[in-house]
């Protein structure tokens, strides 16, 4: 009979191996799912993981990987700070939306002026929008002890309603013949976020994501605040004895994750998305949770996980168009990553033992 035996210390080897095993198991389970849908499983897996990098049209798809990875990495870095401290912000999607709305609102307020400071102001407004939205669960938790998971998650739906309202109202393009959605920022040079090097996929959002990775690594490993974050997550009682102020830490972690999610929304609306619209939210805030855990909450792990998840986005789009796979199947495939990662994580803390059944 198989039993689980708790390890005295979490296994570092299994901690490093579980993301790799999760990816392999996702490929196997995904292949079975694709076969049940009547598609060639090996062809589907090859299309998702190989064609965007080495396929015939990879020169077009490679930049798309960076474009997709930018917001995922940026949001996941912010989430990982809180997750490490046991602070669970599940509402990054709402903070992403509000960052886009705040930033777009500032840019449109100056239209059609061509001033150099418009885009920097939009960046500040995007970060502020994310922070303000994240401060709601932060204040409710520190003042009333509410659950930040539920509050941050419910605020996503509030943000979606605000997005719909401004798309039909305050930010609607007056020259758009009544259709919902703002002006296109790609046609408003002072407020746009174009590729810095044409055809590379590198825009300011991607560069900010790379800076966030380095900044988070320095914070967690070279700063007293990073030590307090790690200590709080590993030993909350010891953290209190060490003088960590939990309310201040909650406010910082939620504020930082909100700021980075808001920046991701701003860079997306001013760049690849191009406008505020009723379907602007693309689920990046939720997918970034998978990225954070797949990267083991480590900044450089998140960088690799973000690129991998972006690869599944781009490869999934190719599979949908070339193989006729439904979008829901691609979303289920991406969700399998988190499912298997959480399942395999058990082996980090437990050993599987074969125990003989006792005789009756």
96-143 pLDDT, tens per residue? 999 999 999 999 999 999 999 999 999 999 999 999 999 999 999 999
CATH number of 69-316: 1.10.3470
206-249 pLDDT, tens per residue? 999 999 999 999 999 999 999 999 999 888 888 888 888 999 99
- pLDDT at 357 (0 to 100): 57
Distances (CA, A) of 228 to 70, 83, 108, 128, 158: 28, 13, 41, 25, 32
Do the beta carbons of residue 283 and residue 41 sit within 8 Å?
no
Asked if the model's pLDDT at residue 358 lies above 60, the reply is no
CA–CA gap between residue 266 and residue 251 (Å, rounded):
22
**To which residue do tokens 């990662």 refer?**
341
Do the beta carbons of residue 292 and residue 309 sit within 8 Å?
no
In terms of Cβ atoms closer than 10 Å to its own Cβ (0-12, 13-18, 19+), residue 21 is middle
148-204 pLDDT, tens per residue? 999 999 999 999 999 999 999 999 999 888 899 999 999 999 999 999 988 888 999
Domain boundaries, the chain: 69-316
- pLDDT at 97 (0 to 100): 97
Residue 226: count other Cβ atoms within 10 Å of its Cβ: 17
Rg (alpha carbons) of the chain, rounded to whole number: 22
């Amino acid at each position: 009979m198989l039993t689980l035996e708790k390890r005295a210390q979490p296994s570092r080897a299994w901690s490093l191996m579980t993301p790799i095993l999760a990816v392999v198991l996702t490929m196997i389970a995904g292949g079975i799912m694709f076969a049940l849908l009547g598609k060639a499983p090996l062809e589907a897996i090859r299309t998702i993981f190989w064609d965007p990098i080495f396929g015939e049209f990879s020169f077009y798809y490679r930049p798309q990987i960076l474009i997709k990875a930018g917001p995922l990495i940026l949001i996941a870095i912010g989430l990982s700070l809180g997750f490490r401290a046991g602070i669970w912000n599940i509402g990054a999607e709402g903070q992403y939306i509000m960052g886009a709305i705040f930033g777009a609102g500032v840019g449109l307020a100056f239209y059609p002026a061509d001033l150099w400071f418009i885009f920097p102001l939009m960046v500040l407004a995007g970060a502020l929008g994310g922070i303000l939205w994240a401060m709601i669960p932060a204040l409710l938790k520190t003042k009333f002890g509410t659950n930040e998971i539920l509050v941050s998650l419910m605020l996503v739906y509030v943000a979606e309603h605000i997005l719909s309202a401004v798309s039909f109202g305050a930010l609607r393009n007056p020259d758009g013949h009544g259709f919902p959605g703002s002006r296109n920022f790609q046609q408003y040079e002072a407020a746009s976020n174009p590729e810095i090097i044409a055809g590379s996929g590198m825009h300011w959002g991607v560069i900010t994501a790379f800076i966030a990775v380095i900044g988070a690594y320095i914070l967690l490993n070279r700063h007293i605040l990073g030590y307090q974050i790690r200590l709080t997550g590993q030993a909350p009682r010891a953290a209190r004895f060490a003088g960590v102020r939990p309310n201040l830490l909650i406010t910082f972690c939620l504020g930082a994750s909100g700021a980075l999610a808001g920046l991701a929304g701003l860079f997306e609306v001013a760049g690849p998305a191009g406008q505020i619209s009723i379907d602007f939210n693309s689920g990046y805030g939720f997918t970034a949770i998978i990225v954070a855990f797949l990267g083991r909450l480590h900044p450089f792990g998140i960088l690799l996980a973000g690129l991998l998840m972006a690869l599944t986005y781009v490869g999934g789009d190719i599979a949908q168009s070339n193989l006729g796979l439904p979008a829901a199947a691609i979303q289920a495939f991406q969700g399998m990553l988190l499912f298997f990662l959480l399942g395999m994580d058990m082996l980090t803390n437990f050993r599987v033992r074969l125990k003989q059944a006792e005789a009756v």
